[in-house]
Structure 1
Amino acid sequence: MIKMALVIGLAFVIQFVLSSFQMKNFNNEFVRMRRKGKVAIGRKSGGFHAGAIVMFRIDDEGIIQESKKIEGTTFLARVKNFPGFEGRYIGELSVDDVEKGHRNLRKAVEDAALTYKKYIAGEEIAQPPSNFQKAGNIVTNLFNRRAGA
């Protein structure tokens, strides 16, 4: 039993270290783009499917100057160019602007457009819950169900 716990603990540590490299890659690319101007980000978590994050560097009128994406289910995913959006107005993007088959990438593009529209309208942009918040919500719901039963 102790060996199993050690193996699981080691797997978590390895996952954390490798995920840190992925986040460093993403952060470096975001900072590079941000130094050149405004950046709109859209994201869609994947669960058991490939998640996706898109970044669009835009000018003051919302015209896309540069686009990047990161999608995948593992720590091996890296930021890549996402051509085909340059010169377009970000507020008009939709799921139809991405080829079918990339469901979460399509939703991430739509999320970037929606986030930009909220920003322009002065609305608050809600942050998705972190994994710790999600876990806390699950535990809270379990306790609430038991208390009500």
Structure 2
Amino acid sequence: MFWPVLATVAIIYVCNATLAIRQMRNFSTTYILLRKHGKVAIGKQKNALSRGAIVMFLLDDSDRVVAGRRMNGITVLARFRDFPAFDGLPVKEIDPEAVRTDRGTQRAIANARDNFLTVQAGDVPVEPPTPLMKVVNRVDAKVGHSRKRPAATTQHIVICRRRPTAAD
């Protein structure tokens, strides 16, 4: 009984790894195709038990959306598809609520817009929390910071000495 179960688990693992590699290749191919034509804004929304989403927008020189692609789904079978909902709009005017789609895709759209605007401002975009960190943050918010940290028993004294200069 042990060997058939082990063989089944191994076959499932190999199939999952193969499909994940194909999905990563699809992401890379789509990104490279869009990147050849201009700037690309990417947004993502990770979920553990519900649909995740990745959105890519090809932008022209005036930061208007030329083409959009999206991938959403639960499994490694998801692939990128055309997403023309925001074609022609400036990135600043993208409103995720304007499109009837699932919440994960709406969050990915907002993340793409925010990431692009953050990069335009010269900052580094913040990575969205992973599903595990979302759970940890929810538990932390409910429980709160009830434990108190002990006060420091020693004081740190910093002494700064001025170097002698030629005038001294």
TM-score (norm 1): 0.78
Residue 166 of structure 2: aligned partner? none
1:97 is the counterpart of 2:98: yes
What is the SS of the residue equivalent to 1:36? coil
Structure 1 residues 48-57 or 9-18, which shifts more?
9-18
Residue 165 of structure 2: aligned partner? none
Distance in 1 between residues matched to 2:115 and 2:93, nearest whole Å: 12
Larger radius of gyration: 2
Residue 60 of structure 2: aligned partner? 59
Distance in 2 between residues matched to 1:37 and 1:113, nearest whole Å: 16
Structure 2: 5+ residue stretches without partners = 137-168
Deviation at 1:49, TM superposition (A): 0.9
Could you tell me whether the CA contact under 8 Å between 2:47 and 2:130 is conserved in 1? no
One-letter code aligned to 2:11: L
Residue 35 of structure 1: aligned partner? 36
State the superposition RMSD in angstroms: 2.3
Residue 114 of structure 2: aligned partner? 114
Residue 72 of structure 1: aligned partner? 73
What is the SS of the residue equivalent to 1:84? helix
Q: Residue by residue, what CA displacement relative to the aligned partner does 1:45-78 show, whole Å, maximum 9, x if unpaired?
A: 1211111111000012211011111111112211
TM-score (norm 2): 0.70
Report the structure, 1 or 2, having the larger helix content: 1
Could you tell me whether the CA contact under 8 Å between 1:33 and 1:39 is conserved in 2? yes
Count of residue pairs brought into register by the alignment: 133
One-letter code aligned to 2:122: G
Residue 9 of structure 2: aligned partner? 8
One-letter code aligned to 1:81: D
Structure 1 residues 46-55 or 91-100, which shifts more?
91-100
Structure 1: 5+ residue stretches without partners = 139-149
What percentage of residue pairs aligned between the two structures are identical? Answer: 30
Could you tell me whether the CA contact under 8 Å between 1:98 and 1:105 is conserved in 2? no
Counterparts in 2 of 1:129 and 1:107: CA distance versus 1, 3 Å: closer
Distance in 1 between residues matched to 2:130 and 2:32, nearest whole Å: 21
Distance in 2 between residues matched to 1:14 and 1:117, nearest whole Å: 39
